[in-house]
Amino acid sequence: MAQNILAFETSCDETSAAVLSVGDKRRLASLVILSQDIHRIFGGVVPELASRAHLQTIGDVAEQALAEAGISQNGVNAVAVTAGPGLVGALLVGVMFGKTMALSLDVPLIGVHHLEGHLFAPTLEQPEFAPPFVALLVSGGHTLLLEVPAWGDYRLLGSTRDDAAGEAFDKVATLLGLGYPGGAAIERLAQSGKAGRYNFPRPLLKELDREGPDRYAFSFSGLKTAVLRAVRASRDLEAERADMARGFQDAMVEVLAAKTADAAVNLGYSRVMLGGGVACNQALVERVRSMLSGDATVAVASNRLNTDNAAMIAAAGAWHLSRGESSGWDLEPKADLPFPGLTIPAALTGAPR
pLDDT tens digits, residue range 247-257? 999 999 999 99
pLDDT tens per residue, range 237-247:
999 999 999 99
Q: How crowded is residue 206: how many other Cβ atoms within 10 Å of its Cβ?
A: 9
- What pLDDT does 89 receive? 95
Torsion from C-alpha of 100, 105, 111, 117, nearest 10 degrees: -110
Report the pLDDT averaged over residues 93-121. 97
Half-sphere exposure of 82 (CA within 13 A, CB side): 34
Residue 349: per-residue pLDDT = 58
> Which residue type, as a one-letter code, is found at position 260?
T
Which of 82, 88, 94, 22 is closest to 57 using CA atoms? Answer: 94
Q: What is the pLDDT of residue 352?
A: 47
Chain mean pLDDT for the chain: 94
For the residues 174-184, what does the mean pLDDT come to?
A: 90
Q: Give 263's DSSP letter.
A: H
Mean pLDDT of 168-175: 94
Query: Is residue 68 within 8 Å of residue 30, measured between CB atoms?
Result: yes
Q: Highest mean pLDDT range out of 8-17, 113-122, 206-215, 292-301?
A: 113-122
Split at pLDDT 50, 70, 90, the class of 40 is confident
Q: Which domains does the chain have, with CATH numbers?
A: 3-113+307-343 (3.30.420.40), 126-300 (3.30.420.40)
In the prediction, which pLDDT does 41 show?
Answer: 65
Report residue 128's pLDDT band, with 50, 70 and 90 as the boundaries. Answer: very high
Alpha-carbon gap, residue 262 to 37, rounded angstroms: 38
Q: In what order do the strands lie in the sheet with 153-159?
A: 297-300, 271-275, 133-138, 143-150, 153-159, 342-343
Q: How confident is the model at residue 106 (pLDDT cuts 50, 70, 90)?
A: very high
Q: Which helix (H) or strand (E) holds 319?
A: helix 310-322
Compute how many other C-beta atoms are within 10 angstroms of the C-beta atom of residue 75.
17
Contacts 24+ apart (CB under 8 A), 289-294: 291/257, 291/258, 291/261, 292/261, 292/264, 292/265
pLDDT at 350 over 60: no
Q: Percentage of residues in the chain with pLDDT exceeding 90?
A: 85
Residue 160 is classified by DSSP as B
- The stretch 201-226 carries a mean pLDDT of 94
End-to-end distance of the chain based on CA atoms, in angstroms?
Answer: 40
In this predicted structure, what is the pLDDT of residue 2?
86
Check pLDDT > 60 for residue 140: yes
Output 210 or 108, whichever has higher pLDDT: 108
